[in-house]
Amino acid sequence: MNIINHMKKLKIITAYCLLFFLAAACNPEAQGDQESPKAEQESPKIKNVILMIGDGMGPSQVYAGLTANNGSLHLEKSSYSGFIKTNSSDDYVTDSAAGATAYATGHKTYNGAIGVDSSENALPTILEIAEEHGLATGLVATSSITHATPASFIAHQPSRDMTEEIAADFLLTDIDVFIGGGEEYFSDREDGRNLLAELEEKNYRVSNDLDEIAQVTSGKLAGFLPVRRWSEGRNDQLMKTSETAINLLNQNEDGFFLMIEGSQIDWGSHDNDLEYTIEEMLDFDRTIGKVFEFAENDGETLVVITADHETGGLTLTGGNLETGEVEGEFSTGGHTGTLVPIFSYGPGAEKFSGIYHNTAVFDKLMNALQLDAQ
Q: Which of the listed partners (Zn ion, Mg ion, none) does 263 bind, with a CB threshold of 5 to 8 Å by partner kind?
A: Mg ion
Q: Which is nearer to Zn ion, 115 or 348 (CB)?
A: 115
Span of 7-15, 246-254, 261-269, 366-374 interacting with Zn ion by CB under 5 A: 261-269
Q: Which is nearer to Zn ion, 67 or 269 (CB)?
A: 269
Residue 261 touches Zn ion, criterion: CB under 5 A? no
CB of 99 to Zn ion, least distance (A): 9
CA distance 44 to 67: 35
- Beta strand pairing status for 310-311 and 335-336? antiparallel
Q: Which is nearer to Zn ion, 100 or 369 (CB)?
A: 100
Residue among 60, 88, 96, 269 flagged as catalytic: 96
Element (H, E) at 80: strand 80-85
Q: Count CB-CB contacts under 10 A for residue 58.
A: 25
How many residues line the site for Mg ion (CB under 5 A)? 4
CA distance 294 to 97: 29
CB of 53 to Mg ion, least distance (A): 7
x-marked contacts with Mg ion along 147-176 as a string, rule CB under 5 A: --x---------------------------
Q: Which is nearer to Zn ion, 206 or 259 (CB)?
A: 259
Q: Count CB-CB contacts under 10 A for residue 218.
A: 10
Q: Which is nearer to Zn ion, 236 or 271 (CB)?
A: 271
Q: Count CB-CB contacts under 10 A for residue 31.
A: 8
CB of 311 to Zn ion, least distance (A): 5
Edge-to-edge strands, sheet with 256-262 = 204-207, 220-224, 177-181, 136-144, 256-262, 48-54, 301-306, 340-345, 80-85, 354-357
Judged by CB under 5 A, the residue of 183, 266, 283, 308 near Zn ion is: 266
CA distance 3 to 319: 51
x-marked contacts with Mg ion along 28-57 as a string, rule CB under 5 A: ---------------------------x--
Active site residue 96: yes
Q: Which of the listed partners (Mg ion, Zn ion, none) does 243 bind, with a CB threshold of 5 to 8 Å by partner kind?
A: none
CA distance 139 to 147: 11
x-marked contacts with Mg ion along 91-120 as a string, rule CB under 5 A: -----x------------------------
In this chain, which residue has its C-beta nearest to Zn ion?
Answer: 266
CB of 111 to Zn ion, least distance (A): 11
Query: Sign of torsion, CA 147 149 155 157?
Result: positive
Element (H, E) at 251: none
- Beta strand pairing status for 136-144 and 80-85? unpaired
CB 179, CB 221: distance < 8 Å: yes
CB of 253 to Mg ion, least distance (A): 31
Q: Which of the listed partners (Mg ion, Zn ion, none) does 146 bind, with a CB threshold of 5 to 8 Å by partner kind?
A: none
Q: Which of 332, 323, 296 minimizes the C-alpha distance to 78?
A: 296
Q: Which is nearer to Zn ion, 96 or 241 (CB)?
A: 96
Query: What ranges make up the beta strands (E) of 111-161?
Result: 136-144
Provide the binding-site residues for Mg ion, judged by CB under 5 A. 55, 96, 149, 263
Interacting residue ranges for Zn ion, rule: CB under 5 A: 266
Active site positions, annotated: 96
